Structures are given as structure tokens and as C-alpha cells.
């Protein structure tokens, strides 16, 4: 019988993940193994897969360097098995898992990610805040006078202007024109982004509701439409601030899966806060050991 592998299913505003503990650092998940775990029919099902591994046992140079500051590495993969630099909702679920397992006990601790070390803070039982770190405009071309630097082509619509931001992972944020209803967008197909960043991009569609309050839907790189995207919510809030002027430093971001808080921090950093739920634990025969 194949080795049984333990897993935990969790979500942050319904952006859901399969967490696989690898406390000895022996399960370097292949893309195929991650995709199988994320498969909602033949596997456990999730928008992403998170391997939980000691930073000191990580095999990637950029991660090992974080071992002094952060004991645990969030090895994040998209549902298609691709590696992503960062996952905002995933960091909260990862932190909740570390605490439940007793692998971390403090209310505040650092975690290692491919986008650098992130500080997690348990604000209350239902709110975990993560400093996503520095962000920047990721403009590849000279922006037009309103700062847009990309066009997003969605079936049935004229090209939509977008602003590219780098939150450790890439985002193209569309300021949805008034006449387009956010809920009517068909996000089953991959929006075509031009120019497309070299490693693809997540695409967010934003509808301002009021000062410091936006609604958003997202088509995630390597996944498709998800109910929420934490780094995407931060990108959407920062883009809104770029367009509307910095009339506030804190945003409420409503996504189909719930509500997130984004706060612009000094030093060009940004904080994401929201819930994290561990839904279930189990074991799987899915082969997740390296071949």
C-alpha cells in the first residue's frame, strides 16, 4: 500500500489550500504531485498546495538564507502545479496551521516565502495580519497619462486598461468602467494581458464602492477565477490609491469569498488582514514523495 500522506484543508476567504506537512524536508513536491492534490475531482481539491517545511531544510538558496529569521517555509504551488512567489491568503492559513500544530506559539512570528520573509500577527481569533512587504509599480512600458500600462482583453468587451503591480507576485489591476457590471464578467477564460509579463500575471477587476472600500474579482495565474486573492486584494487597493489619490491608507476589500483589510504601511509596504479556517484533516494515498 502506498505511504499515507497527511494533509490539512484550509481556506482564507474561500481561497482554499491543501497543506502537506514535510517536517523532515523529504517531500519535494513535483508539479504533477501538487496538481493532483489540488484536483477537485481526482484529488483533495484547492486553489493551491502548501508544503510545510523547516526553512533550514529548504533546497532553494533564497529560502535557506531566511532560516535565521523564520523557522518555517511556505512552499506555495498553484492548482496547476506551478510555483508562485507568494500567496497572501495562504500565509494566514499557513500561520494558523503552524499555531494549531504547536510549531509556532507566539502571536507574532516570521515565515519564509519565495518573496522573502513575511511577518504574521494574530490580531484576534478571526483576524490574522501579514505584512506582505514592499510593493512596486511593475510597469514594463511607459505608462499613459493615467498611469495605465497594460491592456486586458476579455471576450465581449473592449480592451480594458490596467495597472501592473508587483507584490512579490505579478498583478494587473483593471479599473472596471462604470458601464460594466463586475458580476457579469465571464472569468472562465484566461484574460489576455498585453504586454504579458514573462511569467504571466494574476488579473484583478475592481469596482470602487466608496472611500477605502472596493469590490474585486480575480483570475489567478495558474488557477483560474478564485473566490479571493490576498496579494490581489492588496494590489487592487494600492491601484485604487494610485488612481484616486491617497485619501486613505486602509481599505476594505470585498471579494466573492468574504472580506479582507488592506493597509498601506510606511516604507512602501502593505499589510493584509483577514480570517483563516482549517477545515479538515486527512490522509491520502496520493503519491507525494519524490519519485
Catalytic residues: 87, 229
Distance from C-alpha of 278 to C-alpha of 291, rounded to nearest angstrom? 29
Task: Tell the smallest beta-carbon distance from residue 12 to ligand API (Å).
Answer: 7
According to the annotation, is 89 in a ligand binding site?
yes
Residue 202 annotated as lining a ligand binding site:
yes
CB closer to ligand API out of 104 and 220: 220
Residue 210's DSSP bridge partners are: 213
Shortest Cβ distance from residue 163 to ligand API (Å)? 17
Identify which of residues 221 and 241 has a Cβ nearer to ligand API in the complex: 221
Strand locations in the chain, DSSP E?
A: 5-12, 15-21, 48-54, 72-78, 108-111, 118-124, 127-134, 136-137, 150-153, 160-166, 170-175, 192-194, 202-210, 213-220, 224-226, 250-255, 258-265, 269-274, 277-284
Q: How far is the CB of 273 from ligand API (least distance, A)?
A: 12
230 labelled ligand-binding: yes
Q: Is 88 annotated as a binding residue?
A: yes
Does 241 show up as a binding residue in the annotation? no
DSSP 125: T
Q: What is the CA radius of gyration of the chain?
A: 18
- By beta-carbon proximity to ligand API, the closer residue of 56 and 252 is 252
- The residues that touch ligand API, with contacts defined as CB under 6 A, are 15, 78, 84, 87-90, 169, 202, 220-223, 229-232
Distance of closest approach, residue 142 Cβ to ligand API, in angstroms: 25
φ, ψ for residue 152, nearest 5 deg: -115, 125
What is the separation of C-alpha 269 from the centre of its chain, rounded to a whole number of angstroms? 16
Q: Is 267 left (phi over 0), alpha (psi -120 to 50) or beta?
A: left
Binding-site residue set: 15, 78, 88-89, 169, 202, 220-221, 230-231
Binding-site residue set for substrate: 15, 78, 88-89, 169, 202, 220-221, 230-231
Amino acid at each position: 500500500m502506498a505511504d499515507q500522506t497527511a494533509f490539512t484543508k484550509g481556506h482564507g476567504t474561500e481561497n482554499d489550500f491543501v497543506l502537506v506537512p514535510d517536517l523532515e524536508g523529504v517531500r519535494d513536491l513535483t508539479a504533477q504531485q501538487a496538481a493532483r492534490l489540488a484536483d477537485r475531482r481526482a484529488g483533495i481539491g484547492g486553489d493551491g498546495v502548501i508544503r510545510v517545511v523547516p526553512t533550514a531544510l529548504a533546497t532553494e538558496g533564497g529560502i535557506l538564507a531566511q532560516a535565521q529569521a523564520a523557522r518555517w517555509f511556505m512552499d506555495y504551488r498553484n492548482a496547476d502545479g506551478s510555483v508562485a512567489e507568494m500567496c497572501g491568503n495562504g500565509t494566514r492559513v499557513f500561520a494558523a496551521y503552524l499555531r494549531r500544530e504547536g510549531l509556532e506559539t507566539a502571536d507574532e512570528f516570521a515565515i519564509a516565502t519565495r518573496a522573502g520573509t513575511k511577518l504574521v500577527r494574530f490580531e484576534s481569533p478571526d483576524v490574522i495580519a501579514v505584512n506582505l512587504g514592499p510593493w512596486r509599480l511593475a510597469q514594463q512600458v511607459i505608462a499613459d497619462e493615467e498611469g495605465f500600462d497594460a491592456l486586458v482583453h476579455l471576450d465581449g468587451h473592449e480592451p480594458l486598461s490596467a495597472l501592473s503591480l508587483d507584490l512579490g507576485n505579478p498583478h494587473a489591476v483593471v479599473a472596471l468602467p462604470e458601464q460594466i457590471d463586475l458580476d457579469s464578467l465571464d472569468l472562465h477564460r484566461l484574460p489576455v494581458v498585453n504586454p504579458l509579463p514573462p511569467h504571466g500575471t494574476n488579473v484583478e477587476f475592481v469596482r470602487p464602492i466608496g472611500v477605502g472600500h472596493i469590490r474585486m474579482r480575480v483570475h489567478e495565474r495558474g488557477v483560474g477565477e478564485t473566490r479571493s486573492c490576498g496579494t490581489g486584494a492588496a494590489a487592487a487597493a494600492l491601484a485604487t490609491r494610485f488612481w484616486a489619490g491617497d485619501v486613505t491608507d486602509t481599505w476594505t476589500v470585498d471579494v466573492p469569498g468574504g472580506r479582507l483589510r488592506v493597509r498601506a504601511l510606511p516604507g512602501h509596504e502593505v499589510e493584509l488582514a483577514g480570517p483563516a479556517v482549517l477545515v479538515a484533516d486527512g490522509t491520502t494515498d496520493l503519491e507525494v514523495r519524490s519519485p
